[in-house]
Amino acid sequence: MKGLALFPDSPSAGLAETLQLAALDPILLGVEDLEKTSEAASWSLVLIELADEPLRRMRHARRLHEDTGVPIVLLVLKDQIALIIDEDLELADFVVLPTDPQELRARVRRQASTVSTDEVLRYRDLELNTATYQATIGEQPADLTYMEYELLRFFVENPSRVWSREQLLSKVWGYEYYGGARTVDVHVRRLRSKIGEQRSAWITTVRSVGYRFG
């Protein structure tokens, strides 16, 4: 299933067999992969098996969700249920192992399809998931900072019209932001670089006024 990821990259033998029987072929993640948050845009769901390192892997789950917003499903043993409830994690779901392969497949498919289309903004081959703050361009994850994402989101939601630098500062950065208009120019330049040369023309400079998107 495209977009399904699994941590760790060495699942238990029982889980590996269950995944095979369920016809699920997740992307296998090591610890270093969890740090590459820009790649999270290509994951619709991450399975994390607690196995014999429950506390450590719950910390990984919490940090991954906080950094990316990607939905997490924990794969737990029966005696670990109380542990995850006590930790009060923000989970999409948890599955008690061992489990029936078809049940696992059904629950994964259900969770992976729960992102509402209202939460995804699209412009040509650009997609912005407003629930997870993930951006993809041409199906590739885009590594945007928070304010780069917010500026691009504003442009996508408000195309065609011209916005002055002062208006953009007010609407994207907020009324209490005291930075100068150069802040907008810097972020536009970075956005153009990150979306690529062919797409940089989406953001047009209107001389002596500001910028127009689309």
Contacts of 196 (CB under 8 A, 6+ apart): 137
- Full domain range(s) for residue 24: 4-112
Query: Does residue 136 sit in the same domain as residue 205?
Result: yes
Phi, psi dihedrals of residue 26, rounded to the nearest 5° = -75, 160
Average pLDDT for 125-146: 86
The last residue of one of the domains, among 112, 143, 174, is 112
- Strand pairing category for 162-164 and 210-213: antiparallel
The last residue of one of the domains, among 54, 84, 112, is 112
Query: Does residue 82 sit in the same domain as residue 157?
Result: no
Query: Does residue 104 sit in the same domain as residue 152?
Result: no
- Using 50, 70 and 90 to split pLDDT, how confident is the model at 115? low
* pLDDT reported for residue 2: 45
Query: Does residue 48 sit in the same domain as residue 62?
Result: yes
- Identify the bridge partners of residue 19 per DSSP, sorted by sequence position: none
Query: Does residue 100 sit in the same domain as residue 128?
Result: no
Query: Does residue 69 sit in the same domain as residue 134?
Result: no
Average pLDDT for 138-148: 88
Instruction: Kindly report whether the global pTM for this prediction surpasses the value 0.95.
Output: no
SS3 205: strand
Give yes or no for residue 140 having a pLDDT over 90. no
Query: Does residue 96 sit in the same domain as residue 166?
Result: no
Query: Does residue 8 sit in the same domain as residue 106?
Result: yes
Say which CATH number the domain at 48 has.
3.40.50.2300
* pLDDT reported for residue 26: 92
**Residue-averaged pLDDT of the chain:** 87
The last residue of one of the domains, among 47, 78, 112, is 112
Say which CATH number the domain at 122 has.
1.10.10.10
Query: Does residue 106 sit in the same domain as residue 137?
Result: no
- Of 7-16, 67-76, 113-122, 162-171, the poorest mean pLDDT is in 113-122
155-184 pLDDT, tens digit per residue, is: 999 999 999 999 998 888 886 666 678 899
* pLDDT reported for residue 77: 95
| Helical packing angle, 101-112 and 13-21, nearest 10° | 70
Query: Does residue 97 sit in the same domain as residue 141?
Result: no
Percent of the chain with pLDDT over 70: 91
Average pLDDT for 136-159: 91
| Structural domains in the chain (count) | 2
Cα R_g (the chain), whole angstroms: 21
Query: Does residue 79 sit in the same domain as residue 138?
Result: no
Query: Does residue 30 sit in the same domain as residue 52?
Result: yes
Q: The tokens of 108 are what?
A: 């994964």
- Identify the bridge partners of residue 77 per DSSP, sorted by sequence position: 97
* pLDDT reported for residue 1: 42
DSSP secondary structure, 95-106, as one string: EEES--HHHHHH
